[in-house]
Structure 1
Amino acid sequence: MDWHHWIRRLRDLSIRNKLILFGTMTAAAALLLAGIVFIVTDVQSMRRNMVHEFRSLADILSSNLVAAVTFDDAATAQELLGSVQREPSVLVATVFDRNGQVFAQYRRQPEYEGPQEKRVSIHGHVFTSDGYLLIATPINDGDETIGTLQLRVSMDRLSEQVTTYASTAAAVLFLAMGASVMFATVFQGLLSRPIRNLAEVAARVSDHQDFSIRVQKPSSDEVGDLYDAFNHMLEQIEAGQHALQDSYEQLEVRVIERTQQLMQANEELRREIVEREKAERKLRGVQEELVETAHRAGMAEIATGVLHNVGNVLTSVNVSSNLAMEKIRRLGVQDMVKVAQLLEEHQDDLGRFMTEDKRGRHLAPFLIELSQYMVHQEAEVIEELKSLQKNIDHIKEIIAVQQSHARMTGFVQEVVLSQIIDDAIQINMASMERHRIRIVRDYEQIPPVLAEKQKLMQILINLLSNAKHALRDCDHPDKRIIVRLKRQGEDRVRIEVEDNGVGINEENLTRIFAHGFTTKKDGHGFGLHGAALHAKEMGGSLVARSDGPGRGAVFTLEFPIKPAEKLKRKPTQETTADSESSQAPALA
């Protein structure tokens, strides 16, 4: 049975049994604690007395052994050690010379046949792990220590005293528990009997519905307060019955009055219908104005979405540019300047400087190492600049797509889904590395398909940025984003972005896609709203799920696709020009 079962069993006991049980347990706990304290205190006192007694014996015996040890008289020392046989607790008495060798020894036979004694490394006393007391006292001849006296003392006497104390305490505990049970049994009636009487009266009132019954207050304590409250409750119920009867009689009168009022209200309602028809005609005019206002608000929302999407990419642009500047600052130009100055100072004796001077001998290896470092840094700067150019091109594409949004329903082109996902990851990669976020890719092999590339790219950038912010605001040691790509049947595909960040409250799982809704301090509520709109425009859906705060979240994008071979469209001159213009900065 578990702990909750025992709690239920105790709760179901009668008040009488609870009082007896709690009184007995309280007394037993107090007595048990007191007994333990007394026993522990007495044991500590007996141990101190025992140490004092045998240290005194060892001091006396060591002073008597000075002459025997000084004159190397082992027989006399043996005889002196035999005097400890009057102390039955002393099992072994050993005299060690100044070299630690046994000089003389007394062993109690046949009570003790322990191992050969070894001199301990301390002067004083120690309680051993096998249950003995060791007393070690130096044998001094003036200021010189000529040996050591060591006594091994049995703890049996102390154990017998502890057993006696424990038996006495147990007997007292059981007697006290018996007395507490008797006292609790006698005095529990002072509390349980009035409560039982009150329960009987309550049952009689319930059976006969007689609320005029009253109970006699037995005392002025809490039980008496309970009786007063019970009587007051009966008075209120009785008064409520009388009031209910009066209300019923008044209700009949009010029904007649309300009928007349309803007839008047019907007449007024007919007049209001005529007035409402006039108001509806005015309302239609107002609605036309609202439609125009909504159109302008929609254009503002589109502009806000463009700014949000561009802002997401600009964050990565800012990080990439900062990294590039930092790598350029670390190219080692200052070191090259110092080398040039050093060579200029020694241009007249350059050969001697390179071969004899300590700085000159290290100059060639330093230049080799510096050149390798600069080549490595140059490659990293080029990679950052490529990423920067790619992000700038993406900003141009966002603006171009938004400019043509009013002229077209969607620009479909051949795309490789895994490559688009990797491009979206790369745009956010710099800030993810800064926050130590690990990317896990789980792609299913899917051939090139037809899809709206820019809308898909914007959705993925927003989802990855949202996951990055969720991980930035948590203290998880392993920050992770998992991106999955799976085919759903023949003509649909699913992309999942899962993080183990701060999670989402259940009531916010649908609100997060509303325009302007955000839970971030620096958020605007445009990213997920725009992503959901793009998904709907692509004929798909974007949903979120989470197990709650601190449990991470999963965003699932599902949309239709077509095989790439179905694309039958020749590139226009405008598209070609745009491609060339987007590559020009990279070539430059």
Structure 2
Amino acid sequence: MRWYQDLSIRTKLQSIVMVTCAAALVVAAVLFTLYDRANFVREKTQDLIASAKMIGSNSAAALSFHDIRLAREILNALQAKPHVVNACIYDSDGTVFAKYSRSLNHVDFPPPPTDRENGTTIVAGNMVLFQDIALHGDSIGSIYIEADLGEVSDRLSRLVMIDFIVLVGSLAVVFVLSSRLQRVVSEPIRELAEMAATFSTHENYSMRATKRSNDETGVLVDQFNGMLDRLQQRNVSLQLAHDGLEKSVAERTSYLNALIENSPVGILVLDSERLVKLCNPAFEKLFQYTRLEIVGQAFDGLIADGDLLSEIGEASRRTVDREVVNMIARCQRKDRSIVDVELHTVKLMVNRKVEDTLYIYQDISVRKRAEEEMQRAKEAAEASNRAKSEFLA
């Protein structure tokens, strides 16, 4: 019955109504047909008994006066009843007195014995009747009548045909009525199913189903609309939280970008392939490169070559080992001039996974020259002190 479960509510309702009505009509037709057949057979039996009584009453004189011709004429009156097949009158000794057959070719049909009780029985599909013929209370003979049940079969066939026509006509009316009346139940459910499908596709939380009644379908519509209300409220709350989070992230991103862009120290970020990912204006000013020139380019050899490259390479190796590197290094600008920098490197980790490497460069050329001048002044002062001491000595 899997195929039936997959049918629409409308088809299921119509099929249930059609099958129920068809079953009820078939049962009613069968019971009516059986009743009519039994009633018709009873009428035929009563008619056959009445015919036997009439023939017996009319043939009493023929039996009394042994008038065979008169008895035959009386039996020939059965020609008016085409369902009578054979008939026979017996005298008091059980001897055949006169016979009748519907078919002239079977006038000499073998009469049955007379040792049967009065009444009717069904023999070989025919109705057989035996009845005594009495005169003044004494039995002077008996009568045998055999009638076919063709009329019963014909009537049964007509009834079956009528039942079939009535069944088909009734089911046609039921189909038309049920196709309209089932909408009272199926339409709200169909609309609810379509709305659920539309909601699933477009996620329109403002949709609401229309309630048409206060029955179970009305309760279902109320519950569905209530669910949409809760989902809409939850969606609004989530949207507000999402908007707030996006705003916070945007503000934080803008803040971090502002820190990078306005930082007085040069900032450089390399990806896992040691390609330049980004740099800030301070880095551009320090090394005389623009972002368009270096973003996406290999870092090695960009601001160092020869002996300088070995210094930067040592910092890179230590950074790969996840060390935080702080060192003084010499780097090369775009114009091949040398600049002294203080270098800080660290691995950037996201979800405990190393993604990029951060380099921070601070120009210490002025400080380095000042330190060198101070060193020279110190050495000159020390030399002067030694010369003075030697002179005084």
CA–CA separation in structure 2 for the residues paired with 1:85 and 1:103: 19
* Matched pairs, number: 241
Letter matched to residue 78 of structure 1: R
Tell me what 1:479 maps to: none
Q: 1:91 to 1:186 in 2, by over 3 A?
A: same
User: What is the correspondence of 1:521-540 to structure 2 with a 5 Å cutoff?
Assistant: none
Quick check: 1:91–1:112 contact (8 Å CA) kept in 2?
Answer: no
CA–CA separation in structure 1 for the residues paired with 2:209 and 2:74: 90
Shift, 1:196, TM fit: 2.1
State which of 99, 108, 126 in structure 1 corresponds to 2:121.
126
CA–CA separation in structure 2 for the residues paired with 1:211 and 1:84: 89
CA–CA separation in structure 2 for the residues paired with 1:111 and 1:20: 60
Shift, 1:105, TM fit: 1.0
Q: 1:243 to 1:51 in 2, by over 3 A?
A: same
Letter matched to residue 122 of structure 1: E
Letter matched to residue 149 of structure 2: M
Tell me what 1:33 maps to: 27
Shift, 1:197, TM fit: 1.9
Spell out, residue by residue over 1:490-515, the C-alpha distance to the aligned partner (whole angstroms, 9 max, x if none): xxxxxxxxxxxxxxxxxxxxxxxxxx
Spell out, residue by residue over 1:87-144, the C-alpha distance to the aligned partner (whole angstroms, 9 max, x if none): 222111111234433222111224867952213612011122x221112110123333
Tell me what 2:228 maps to: 234
Tell me what 2:379 maps to: none
Shift, 1:163, TM fit: 2.1
Tell me what 1:203 maps to: 197
State which of 40, 45, 55 in structure 1 corresponds to 2:49.
55
Q: 1:29 to 1:203 in 2, by over 3 A?
A: same
State which of 153, 171, 179 in structure 1 corresponds to 2:165.
171
User: What is the correspondence of 1:471-486 to structure 2 with a 5 Å cutoff?
Assistant: none
CA–CA separation in structure 2 for the residues paired with 1:106 and 1:238: 96
CA–CA separation in structure 2 for the residues paired with 1:19 and 1:51: 48
Shift, 1:40, TM fit: 1.9
Tell me what 2:2 maps to: 8
User: What is the correspondence of 1:17-96 to structure 2 with a 5 Å cutoff?
Assistant: 17-96=11-90
Shift, 1:184, TM fit: 1.9
Tell me what 1:137 maps to: 131
CA–CA separation in structure 1 for the residues paired with 2:157 and 2:238: 76
CA–CA separation in structure 1 for the residues paired with 2:76 and 2:224: 86
Letter matched to residue 94 of structure 1: C
SS of 2:41's partner is helix
SS of 2:226's partner is helix
Shift, 1:173, TM fit: 1.4
Question: Which structure shows the higher strand fraction?
Answer: 2
Quick check: 2:99–2:107 contact (8 Å CA) kept in 1?
Answer: no
Structure 1's unaligned 5+ residue stretches are: 1-6, 246-588
User: What is the correspondence of 1:356-435 to structure 2 with a 5 Å cutoff?
Assistant: none
Spell out, residue by residue over 1:343-391, the C-alpha distance to the aligned partner (whole angstroms, 9 max, x if none): xxxxxxxxxxxxxxxxxxxxxxxxxxxxxxxxxxxxxxxxxxxxxxxxx
Shift, 1:64, TM fit: 2.1
Indicate the larger mover: 79-88 or 13-22: 79-88
Letter matched to residue 147 of structure 2: V
Superposed CA RMSD in Å reads 3.1
Instruction: Indicate whether 1:155 and 2:149 are aligned.
Output: yes
CA–CA separation in structure 1 for the residues paired with 2:107 and 2:75: 17
Quick check: 1:96–1:119 contact (8 Å CA) kept in 2?
Answer: no
State which of 95, 104, 109 in structure 1 corresponds to 2:98.
104
Q: 1:144 to 1:81 in 2, by over 3 A?
A: same
CA–CA separation in structure 2 for the residues paired with 1:127 and 1:159: 14
SS of 2:210's partner is coil
CA–CA separation in structure 1 for the residues paired with 2:107 and 2:172: 47
Quick check: 1:16–1:188 contact (8 Å CA) kept in 2?
Answer: yes
CA–CA separation in structure 1 for the residues paired with 2:108 and 2:208: 84
Shift, 1:13, TM fit: 1.0
Quick check: 1:139–1:148 contact (8 Å CA) kept in 2?
Answer: yes
Q: 1:21 to 1:105 in 2, by over 3 A?
A: same
CA–CA separation in structure 1 for the residues paired with 2:18 and 2:222: 31
Q: 1:213 to 1:151 in 2, by over 3 A?
A: same
Quick check: 2:78–2:84 contact (8 Å CA) kept in 1?
Answer: yes
SS of 1:19's partner is helix
CA–CA separation in structure 2 for the residues paired with 1:111 and 1:163: 29
Spell out, residue by residue over 1:174-216, the C-alpha distance to the aligned partner (whole angstroms, 9 max, x if none): 1111121122222333332222221222233334555564323
Question: Which structure shows the higher helix fraction?
Answer: 1
Structure 2's unaligned 5+ residue stretches are: 240-393
Shift, 1:152, TM fit: 0.6
Shift, 1:157, TM fit: 2.1
Quick check: 2:100–2:107 contact (8 Å CA) kept in 1?
Answer: no
Tell me what 1:181 maps to: 175
Tell me what 1:373 maps to: none
State the structure with more CA Rg: 2
Letter matched to residue 133 of structure 2: I
More relative contact order, 1 or 2 (CA 8 Å, 6+ apart): 2
CA–CA separation in structure 1 for the residues paired with 2:232 and 2:207: 10
Shift, 1:20, TM fit: 2.0
Q: 1:214 to 1:124 in 2, by over 3 A?
A: same
Q: 1:110 to 1:10 in 2, by over 3 A?
A: farther
Spell out, residue by residue over 1:47-88, the C-alpha distance to the aligned partner (whole angstroms, 9 max, x if none): 111111121111111122223323444333223222222222
CA–CA separation in structure 1 for the residues paired with 2:19 and 2:105: 45
Q: 1:11 to 1:110 in 2, by over 3 A?
A: farther
CA–CA separation in structure 2 for the residues paired with 1:122 and 1:243: 98
CA–CA separation in structure 2 for the residues paired with 1:202 and 1:46: 61
Tell me what 1:193 maps to: 187
State which of 94, 110, 117 in structure 2 corresponds to 1:116.
110
* Percent pairwise identity: 31
Quick check: 1:91–1:152 contact (8 Å CA) kept in 2?
Answer: yes
Q: 1:211 to 1:115 in 2, by over 3 A?
A: farther
Shift, 1:228, TM fit: 0.7
- TM-score, length-scaled by structure 1: 0.37
User: What is the correspondence of 1:227-306 to structure 2 with a 5 Å cutoff?
Assistant: 227-237=221-231
Letter matched to residue 75 of structure 2: L
CA–CA separation in structure 1 for the residues paired with 2:21 and 2:107: 47
Quick check: 1:96–1:104 contact (8 Å CA) kept in 2?
Answer: yes
